Every structure is written in C-alpha cells, then in structure tokens.
Amino acid sequence: MLDVVQSGVDRNIKTLLQEYGEEIIVETYVSDITNRVELEKIRDNLLSKYGHIDILINNAANNPKVEGGSSNLKALQFTNFPVEIWNQDIAVGLTGAMLCAQVFGGAMEQARSGIVLNISSDYGLIAPDQRVYRKAGLADDQQMIKPVSYSVVKHGIIGLTKYLAVYWAEKGIRVNTLCPASLHNNQNDDFVEKISDRIPMHRMSEPEEYVCTILYMISDAATYMTGSTVVCDGGRTIW
C-alpha cells in the first residue's frame, strides 16, 4: 500500500521538478496519519532540518467516488453500513487530521506562528443527493451510495477547524476550512450530467481552480482570516 502511495508521490514530484527545475526544493515523507509516532518522527526530522513548520494542510480522507479504484462507491446502504468501514473512515478523515494538528500544530504553538488548512467538501455543508449515484435497472439495495461516514467526516472537519481557530487564536496560528466540490476526473457522462444539473454553474470543477484560493488562504494576504469556511463549489450549496 505504501509503495503505491510512494510511486504516486514520486510521479507528482517529477512533474513539479520538470515545471520548476531548481527553483524549488521538494521533500516527501510517506506515512499513515493515524499513527502519531510516525508523525512525530516526521515533525522532528523537519524541525531538525529547517527549524520551523509553517503550514499544515489536512487533505487525506477516504473518499469513495464514482471513478475507479479499490475504495470506490459500494452498495452499502445505511442500515447495513459496516462499523469497520465507519471506524476506518473516521480514523483517516478525523482522527488523522486531529493527530496532524496535535503534532505539527504543537510545533507551530511553540513558534507562536503557523497556518492550518483543513480540506472539507460541499458534503461538509449539505447531504449527498444519492440520486446522482443511481444506476438504472438496479434494485434499491444494489444502488451505490456515498457513505454516511463521508458526510460525518466532512462536517466534523469544519467543527475541528472552528475549535482549533478559537483555541489557537491568540497563539499566532490561523485555522481555516476549504470546501471544494465535484472534481472532474473522467467520470461517465451520465454522472457528469446528473451532478452538473445540481450545480448553478452547470459543470464540474478542475483541480487548477483551487490553486489560487489555497495560496490565498495559506498566505499573509489572509492574516485576519481564521475559523472560516471557504466554499468553492460552482454554487452547489446555494441551491
């Protein structure tokens, strides 16, 4: 599993280095964010090399989706939703974010400076409309659904942000949430059409459309922003 993650990370680094050459330094660590000891090792390594940690972005989550992969959507209706999957999803999406905030935020607390950006979702604000995942001809209990754990994790991330924003407000650490939505990723036409019908801009988003918002939120242009939920969703949550 970690090999697969490492090869994905290596691919991204190659792209970055091709684009920016020697202008940037990229250093990566692959780790399970539910393991506090592993996170502490990374923190200690970073602190001994660079002396400070400026930004933490909590992005990892189990995100079952329409497009392929082993963790894609399953026909697990709420009343039979396995508690094992619930526990795994909460462990990555909430406990992992909390542990990263403890470990890396702890270093920021010492320095009285830092920024935490937590990634939620439009599903941190609204419930999934399960009709977009339905396939014609399948019985109700065979239909794919977005799991309850995803909603709870994404709503919980906003709660974690608000808690930490207040907790660290006078200690120089800003904590905010970004809610992205509906990334276009070669999903089938039927799904794209159904989801676009629920978005006022009537289209899915591209990854590039989040870059400037993220840069703003983690920069000194946003020094008075903390505890905020920034929504980039083509208008989906206003309908």
Ligand X SMILES: NC(=O)c1ccc[n+]([C@@H]2O[C@H](COP(=O)([O-])OP(=O)(O)OC[C@H]3O[C@@H](n4cnc5c(N)ncnc54)[C@H](O)[C@@H]3O)[C@@H](O)[C@H]2O)c1
Residues in the site for ligand X, rule: CB under 6 A?
A: 5, 32-34, 59-61, 63, 92, 96, 119, 121, 180-183
Least CB distance from residue 82 to ligand X, whole Å?
17
Comparison of 180 and 234: residue with beta carbon closer to ligand X: 180
Least separation in angstroms between residue 60's CB and ligand X is: 3
Nearer to ligand X, 121 or 176 (CB): 121
State how far the Cα of 10 lies from the Cα of 208, in Å rounded to an integer.
Answer: 20
Measured CA to CA, the distance from residue 23 to residue 139 in angstroms comes to 55
Pick between residue 60 and residue 85 the one whose CB is nearest to ligand X: 60
Q: Which is nearer to ligand X, 9 or 75 (CB)?
A: 9
Comparing CB distances to ligand X, the nearer of 34 and 143 is: 34
For the bound state, the minimum distance from the C-beta of residue 15 to ligand X, rounded and expressed in Å, comes to 15
Considering beta carbons, is residue 36 or 171 the nearer one to ligand X?
36
CA-to-CA distance for 60 and 83, rounded, in angstroms? Answer: 20
Q: Which two structure tokens, joined as six digits, stand for 191?
A: 């799904």
The least distance separating ligand X from the CB of residue 63, rounded to whole angstroms, comes to 4
The least CB distance from residue 118 to ligand X, in Å, is 9
Give the shortest CB-166-to-ligand X separation in angstroms.
23
> Closer CB to ligand X, residue 87 or residue 142?
87
Per the CB < 8 A criterion, the answer to whether 17 and 26 are in contact is yes
Minimum distance between the CB of residue 205 and ligand X, rounded to whole angstroms? 8
